[in-house]
Amino acid sequence: AMSIAIHIQSQTRVQPTCPPNDSQTVLLSILDAAHLTTGTAATILLYDAVQPGSACPLTSAALQGSLARALNGYAQWCGALHRQPGNPGRLMLTFGGPAAPGVALVVATADCPLAQLLPADRAPVWDVSAFPEAALLPATPLSLTDLTNASLPNLAIQVTTFSDGGLAVALRIAHPLADAHCLAGFALHWAATLKTPADALVSHAMPPQPIFDPQQLDRFATGDQRTATTLPLHHYDPWISSEGCPLPGRWTQIPPEFESLPLDPPGELIPWQQWDPTAAVAQTVLHFTPTELQALWTEIQAMGDEGLSYHDALLAHLWSCVTRARRPSHPSPPEGDPDAVVYLTYALGLRNRMNPPLPSQFLGSPTVSAAIAWPAGRVWEASLPDLARHIRATVAQFTPDRIAAYLHVKLHQQCPHRYWPAFMGRGHLMATSWVGTRLYDVDLGMGRPRFVKAVLPRLDGMLHLMEGAPCSPVDSNQSTHWTRHGVDVMLHLEAAAMDRLLRDPLLWRFRDNMATTKDG
């Protein structure tokens, strides 16, 4: 990684300005519990220095004060995360009262200009493999690392000022408490508390207050098990997959708290042979312009498909190109086997998929990962409309009734986080979309972020989609299509496959198509 020297100026714990007087303990939802092994949700917002005289520089006191005010709506996050006594598969939060761990705030400086980390122009390909992510993220251990230690925070924030006045604001939270949608909502709240009353009238009003009621999700659980088992989901089971595991003992041992409990039924064996943990993984941001996306969309629409989205179209294009790039030049089974099934696992938010829907400000991690399966040969050879239709049809199976039945099954598991919903390596692509999170609207007094960096594990097969950075001041009240600033795709791929992908003319064929699509 690019080496930058970080100097920590201060480390504090921040509490709400009006904390709850009494301590209370709440059971988190069944899906929050299933996210115990997902780790953290994290992002880094990067801001250019403000022009001298255009705004008063952000002081760490102002940041800390506004953070404490923002936490009034998120007092739960300041609490301690722990297992439910007698039921280690479920998680609880104890918050309020004097013992709450609060939120960790780290204030730091970097010895280099922010300009050194970011390209001057938006190129179609930006290699971020050397981006110094770890240096900008808070190193504070979070609650997930030791659920028996009630003093560990759930959320840590690091604010780093660069030598040119640029700023990085990194947020990292235990995943059971928040998905990216929630974390972004919190960042918007924090930004809103920094505004003076005059600013607040001009820009967005305060975002809606968050709703913390995890049992609202569990109350949907109902229905029969047969409905749930037909949902396209992976249940990779590390507890039965010790044979062939390249990192023995890391995941495959039954945790001591579950040894004496009756075991849940075994899941699927993990295909360890598809993943090489020693292989170098490259990390690249691909930028697709609005015109390119329009050309891609036109090709999909030409087949008369009404129900497909831009998401479906772009995912189909990327899945096809990545699958082709992973096919070695001298195919030998099973890698080059066109009949071998490959998977696109796509993280689905469930707030809008429930009936009635959960409010958008519902806190937690109400997400599942759809496992979209197709033979490799069809993924790289089928027409894009066919592939996009297959993605849409798989996602469409996640109806309110089936999700309710799935929640019912999860509620009866001893260890809901035992099964992995996805895997890495050459047969798998794990897609997450942050479209609609509005992270580019988070103005902490320095304008909108120059770049929003999602933080994902550096594993072969991670794919992340998000709106491109707005190039010019934008009137946020004007609702236009989410692709109007293009789309940034962050991809983690084994280095040799990444090299083949970037040289594949089909990846950029909609750039060449532009002239012809306009006429046709």
Is residue 293 situated within a structural domain?
no
Q: What is the pLDDT of residue 496?
A: 96
d(CA 51, CA 57): 10
520 pLDDT tier (thresholds 50, 70, 90): very low
pTM of the model: 0.94
Looking up residue 115, the CATH number of its domain turns out to be 3.30.559.10
Nearest to 343 by CA among 287, 263, 274: 274
The total number of structural domains in the chain stands at: 1
For 308-353, how does the pLDDT look when each residue is reduced to its tens digit (9 = 90+)? 899 999 999 999 999 999 987 544 544 557 779 999 999 999 999 9
Res 254 pLDDT > 80: yes
Contact by Cβ (8 Å): 164, 49: yes
Is residue 438 situated within a structural domain?
no
For 473-510, how does the pLDDT look when each residue is reduced to its tens digit (9 = 90+)? 555 555 588 999 999 999 999 999 999 999 999 999 99
Res 242 pLDDT > 60: yes
* Residue ranges making up the domain that contains 42: 6-213
Is residue 426 situated within a structural domain?
no
Is residue 172 situated within a structural domain?
yes
301 pLDDT tier (thresholds 50, 70, 90): confident
**206-210, 351-355, 441-445: which has the minimum mean pLDDT?**
206-210
**65-74, 121-130, 219-228, 511-520: which has the minimum mean pLDDT?**
511-520
Question: Exposed, middle or buried: residue 4 (CB in 10 Å: 0-12, 13-18, 19+)?
Answer: middle
Residue matched to tokens 């699927």: 268
Q: What is the pLDDT of residue 303?
A: 76
Q: What is the enclosing helix (H) or strand (E) of 90?
A: strand 87-95
Q: What is the pLDDT of residue 516?
A: 40
Q: How far is CA 245 from CA 85, 168, 254, 280, in A?
A: 31, 38, 14, 18
Mean pLDDT along residues 165-183: 97
- The DSSP bridge partners found for residue 21 are none
Report the helix count and the strand count for the chain, using DSSP H and E. 15, 16
Question: Exposed, middle or buried: residue 35 (CB in 10 Å: 0-12, 13-18, 19+)?
Answer: buried
Res 27 pLDDT > 70: yes
Whole-number average pLDDT of the chain: 91
Is residue 271 situated within a structural domain?
no
Residue of higher predicted confidence among 202 and 255 = 255
Res 451 pLDDT > 80: yes
CA 287 to chain centre: 18
Backbone angles phi, psi at 387, to 5 degrees: -65, -45
**57-61, 148-152, 359-363, 444-448: which has the minimum mean pLDDT?**
57-61
Is residue 12 situated within a structural domain?
yes
Write out the E strands in 289-447: 341-349, 367-375, 428-433
Q: What is the pLDDT of residue 51?
A: 76
Q: What is the pLDDT of residue 517?
A: 37
Q: Is the peptide bond before 334 cis (omega within 30 degrees of 0)?
A: yes
Mean pLDDT along residues 205-215: 88
Q: What is the pLDDT of residue 515?
A: 41
Is residue 400 situated within a structural domain?
no
Is residue 178 situated within a structural domain?
yes
